[in-house]
Chain A
């Protein structure tokens, strides 16, 4: 028997982007159906590193990132938990003087955005952060950046959307979506037919299939950042830490575990599942032992990885379709979508309810890839994008 649903807005993909859009739209009074092919918040949004950082983002992303920065402290009110969000500070290290020069240049460039970056030369950094060791040419601290627990935050947004009245269909993959006279018709799962006025494509690393179905493919590829976690250890590392160039990042969670990442894993035969790479994990572990001698003797208990969408210019696609009125895309966050996702949800809500948004998103238009040949799809691992 076919199950029929109809709503103002249907959302494909229950990651943090889709779920936060669902919640925002419900709070704005629209009816919403949120569908995920698996569990909501079980892909990139639920397994990422948990960095909630503005520092290091390209200028074009900062307004978006600042909007998200306003939302994170309100998690309790929005989703009923704080998601272990803390403004612990984000410290970015430079290994070489050239890298430190880049940090100085960045601080200068983004001055007007109010990140309040604090720069430290090597010796100053070691005095200010006595737990730090190894060769450090300098560091840049963004005191109000922070971290949160993706495993809790992302599913909680989907749950909050459901509690607010959204229909949430898990294990319900959307396999066909077409534009009709008065909106869209979708087929999903084994037996669902959905009609809606507006359609949001927030299908993460899988979003391009939907975009291509509306004649606007994007050069989306996949990356699988490799992660390592230690056993719980005494609290020592107060900030979330990254490195210029993106090779290593690390934070210590409330429970005491150090979560660290760097390098890439790989996809399994079923590309929806990925594995961390041992080579990447070992090099992350090695870097950790140089930076934190106090971790000598600690154990790592698990490696993991997740599937993330990557675009060639390191910027996401956010905004209206170029081919189909009523369709909006939001995907391809290039390893840095966790922090911005709640704002992306709010922006999608703006676009659906009013057709515009106060946050500048022109740089993220899918139209920038129009006429781009499919050869551009292959961009792998060569760039130094920051995953955290």
Chain B
């Protein structure tokens, strides 16, 4: 017999932890499933083994929050059914399909809160598949979880608040940061001034990273477009344009990313309707203010429901739990819910401004040489995708996947679909929402072929 839980929370980052906490406070015993070894999620990721680094070493200005969330989660352990190192890879018929240690299990749910977080939004550039090029998130994971840097001399490239944060974390950990290359013009940063009133601490801390980097002698460049990576086996340097000037920097690693993209495959498999979000330039599961989807019993919170950051994830996690509680006919404090909903809306406004300060590089693909790899799993180039679009007059993303093979590999488009969508839309002069979105298919991440049912 498969078990059925009254509430399952998928993900143990800030959203999942806060959801679990509110559920426990209401007397429920949620199942909390997380792919990671230790709870905390990406931002408050813990070292795989404690290595003597303090919370301040690891999380800087966010140390107090990280410590509090870790402590709160540890205190919840007796009251929840916690399943670390467990991947949820499918949802069908109100059941989650899980794997842990090569064993397949199913667990039914009455209520499900998906807090699946985000990964880096990746855009290809010449050389991005050379060993030594990492995403910003991966650079951060290396530092937090493994206590190592991705190289001896690292260039940070891209856009988004993470760019300066991770660069600063590297400097502080004793890393050699060769340069920070922002794809946005400097003028875009002036937008931050109007964000101060929404969250002075966050914005000022964010701005201080740039100032501190400069004080440590790290070169900042704006309006950057990378033109190539030096090296044949491994990164030896990065070439880029900043305005009209061309530059070249010696380095042995590049960390790059363009803000984040929500991990929405489980919501898709659960059948949640999606809506197009202009700010995140992608399709997101549609929810109400409290994270309810139109699928009965399915709720979303955190960056997996739209990029909003760690503080917003805490708010939306608690809100989704209160919505579950309310919808189950139990008492949920309506005042608390409206306070949280208000706070969530303010965070959303802040995000609108941050997007202006770290804008998406609109003309990216005008400058990408056709020979650049777009889909690294299937080794498909930008030009072969464009040829497929032209050759078949394609206007829909799933068709482009079927005919070009881009997005069909190990990552199932998680890494390349944002870029693929931009290329299809700009090649055909269509708007992003007009070309549809890749349908998720199970398993959402690769599974061992030798996977077997529990007990068999």
Contact = CB atoms under 8 A, between A and B. Distances in A.
Whether chains A and B associate is yes
Interface in A148-197: 151-152, 155, 159
B412 interface: yes
Given A155-B392, A282-B104, A302-B441, A289 B449 contact: yes
B451 A285 contact: yes
A295 B447 CA distance: 13
A282 B446 contact: no
A30 to B, nearest CB: 24
Per CB-CB distance, the 8 closest pairs between chain A and chain B, nearest first, are A299-B446, A298-B449, A301-B446, A151-B402, A285-B449, A302-B441, A300-B447, A303-B442
B412 A301 contact: yes
A301 B449 contact: no
Contact of A289 (B271, B408, B450): B450
A278 B95 CA distance: 11
A111 interface: no
Contact of A230 (B412, B442, B449): B449
B99 to A, nearest CB: 11
Interface string A126-162: 0000000000000000000000000110010001000
B413 to A, nearest CB: 10
Nearest to B95: A278
Nearest to B441: A302
B399 A282 contact: no
A304 interface: yes
A155 B449 CA distance: 31
A230 B408 CA distance: 11
Nearest to B448: A299
B452 A286 contact: yes
B453 A282 contact: yes
B334 interface: no
A231 B90 contact: no
B447 A278 contact: no
Interface residues of A, number: 32
A303 B378 CA distance: 17
A261 interface: no
A310 B326 CA distance: 47
A299 B102 CA distance: 11
A46 B410 contact: no
Contacts of A369: none
19 contacts: A155-B392, A155-B403, A230-B449, A232-B409, A275-B92, A275-B442, A277-B92, A278-B90, A282-B104, A285-B451, A295-B449, A296-B449, A296-B450, A298-B448, A300-B446, A300-B448, A301-B443, A302-B443, A303-B443
Interface in A275-321: 275-278, 282, 285-286, 288-289, 295-304
Interface of A: 39, 42, 46, 151-152, 155, 159, 230-232, 255, 268-269, 275-278, 282, 285-286, 288-289, 295-304
B396 interface: yes
Contacts of B446: 231, 299-301
B97 interface: yes
Given A151-B402, A231-B410, A278 B448 contact: no
Contact of B447 (A159, A277, A299): A299
B92 A300 contact: no
A282 B446 CA distance: 14
Interface in B396-444: 396, 399, 402-403, 408-410, 412, 441-443
Given A39-B399, A298-B448, 13 more contacts: A151-B402, A268-B271, A275-B442, A278-B90, A278-B92, A282-B104, A286-B452, A301-B443, A301-B446, A302-B408, A303-B441, A303-B443, A304-B441
Interface in B81-101: 90, 92, 97
A301 B409 contact: yes
A161 to B, nearest CB: 13
Contact of A300 (B106, B409, B449): B449
A277 B442 CA distance: 10
Nearest to B449: A298
B412 A159 contact: no
Given A303-B441, A304-B441, A46 B449 contact: no
Contacts of A285: 449-451
A42 B399 contact: yes
A292 to B, nearest CB: 9
Nearest to B444: A302
Contacts of A231: 409-410, 446
Nearest to B399: A39
Contacts of B447: 299-300
A300 B392 contact: no
B384 to A, nearest CB: 13
B257 to A, nearest CB: 23
Contacts of B410: 231, 299, 301
B403 A152 contact: yes
Contacts of B378: 255
B140 to A, nearest CB: 26
B449 A39 contact: no
A288 B451 CA distance: 11
Contacts of B106: 278
Nearest to A302: B441
Nearest to A286: B452
A46 B442 contact: no
B449 A151 contact: no
A276 B89 CA distance: 13
B92 A288 contact: no
Question: Considering residues A151, A230, A288, A299, which has the most beta carbons from chain B within 10 angstroms of its beta carbon?
Answer: A299
A42 B441 CA distance: 16
Of A39, A232, A269, the most chain B CB neighbours within 10 A belong to A39
Contacts of A296: 449-450
A48 B440 CA distance: 18
B402 A42 contact: yes
Nearest to B456: A286
A68 B449 CA distance: 35
Contacts of B92: 275, 277-278
A304 B412 CA distance: 13
A303 to B, nearest CB: 5
